[in-house]
Structure 1
């Protein structure tokens, strides 16, 4: 990503390489959930392997049918799933990829606006990812993962880089290259996964994150 000009106050972003508290909590929460689900998948806990994951998806995944006429499992599920889906993942490899990305992009966003605004951008991006999936997916297949929020962080960094370069009267070539890379990455992932990629979530999260970043950076 293009380097950002302005940094947050030193107390908001550890200078010794440690993860900020917000990142520690987010990574720990997602990791603990996936480790428990994976342990159940392998029969290490519980008596029926896979039951815990099915229950977690039933109650926490993003189900497009709940935006239509499906009955909810509990009051408020159609609203809460816009957030809960971002804490669930489809396996250890999915978790690892997303948490590494969260570490990298999260530190960059915190360096710009601090931890509180980072958390706001992350939450808004997760919400935007759910909205994008709900509007564009055209499927009843459930969606899980933090990728919508992560693409929102990428959108935030790209939005700031665009504003900074325009303020400095610099060309947008580097920004356009990053955008092209993200589009190509989604295309490759879509092909590798035989179409089973929630690109709608990525798009919704990216747009929401970029808009939130511009608003919160004022």
Structure 2
């Protein structure tokens, strides 16, 4: 459909996007391909000794490596693991949970701030999540998953809502309740999973997203 401007020139009208943008599907596709390979290896379809643990050794975030108590497996691992961990998951359920939020919330966020800034927020949130885990955790276990980046989107979304409410003079209580809900959900999952939750990565990712929403990724 075409509209006519006040100067008589035709103006194209773009239909709203029905689904998540392509770059998010590419990210989910890469993570899915990795997890499918690792899951098939777990069942013995290929990879005699299993590929999951070697993948974790090479790509997961290791606090002891960051702290220097364990040497890196390859040159540059101390830097690469700040991003590579986000593409690894502990199973299809873990992957599905992160992917659903990434696609649904990423669609909204990218419509507000654009593709480039959304990708930058995802990158910075993943790095901040790893950094926060490295600073606050003393766990020797590998840290994996895209939840640091996902919580970055949550933080950015809440920052956008916060700024919109302030401009409109609306109550900020819904933002506060949402943040308290996130904290309560993380505490509950931490208990349910017997401590097997990288809440530090969630915190770091959320902070990065919130700060991005107050600075370069403002609506």
TM-score of the pair, normalised by structure 2: 0.90
Residues 20, 104 of structure 2: 8 Å contact kept: no
Distance in 2 separating the partners of 1:56 and 1:215:
36
The equivalent residue for 2:30 is: 29
Distance in 1 separating the partners of 2:42 and 2:110:
35
The equivalent residue for 2:5 is: none
The equivalent residue for 1:117 is: 117
Does 2:66 align with 1:67? yes
Residues 156, 210 of structure 1: 8 Å contact kept: yes
The equivalent residue for 1:20 is: 21
**Deviation string, structure 1 residues 2-58 (Cα, Å, up to 9, x no partner):** xxxxxxxx87xx72413212101110010000000000000111222xx31111000
Bigger drift between 67-76 and 202-211 goes to 67-76
Distance in 2 separating the partners of 1:128 and 1:16:
30
**Deviation string, structure 1 residues 115-136 (Cα, Å, up to 9, x no partner):** 1110000000000100110010
The equivalent residue for 1:100 is: 100
Query: Any gaps of 5 or more consecutive residues in structure 1?
Result: 1-9
Query: Any gaps of 5 or more consecutive residues in structure 2?
Result: 1-12
Residues 124, 212 of structure 1: 8 Å contact kept: no
Q: After the TM superposition, which segments of 4 or more aligned residues of structure 1 sit over 6 Å from their partners?
A: none
Tell me how many residue pairs correspond in the alignment: 205
**Deviation string, structure 1 residues 125-180 (Cα, Å, up to 9, x no partner):** 00010011001012221100000111110000111111111111111011112112
Residues 121, 213 of structure 1: 8 Å contact kept: no
**Deviation string, structure 1 residues 78-111 (Cα, Å, up to 9, x no partner):** 0110000000000111011110111111111101
The equivalent residue for 2:53 is: 54
Q: SS of the residue aligned with 1:215?
A: coil
Correspondences of 1:119-198 after superposition (within 5 Å): 119-198=119-198
Alpha-carbon shift at residue 217 of structure 1 (Å): 2.9
Q: SS of the residue aligned with 1:217?
A: coil
The equivalent residue for 2:4 is: none
Distance in 1 separating the partners of 2:17 and 2:56:
38
Does 2:211 align with 1:211? yes
Root-mean-square deviation over aligned CA pairs? 1.4
Alpha-carbon shift at residue 213 of structure 1 (Å): 2.4
Bigger drift between 167-176 and 123-132 goes to 167-176
Higher relative contact order (CA 8 A, sep 6+): 1
Residues 19, 107 of structure 2: 8 Å contact kept: no
Alpha-carbon shift at residue 182 of structure 1 (Å): 0.7
Structure with bigger gyration radius: 2
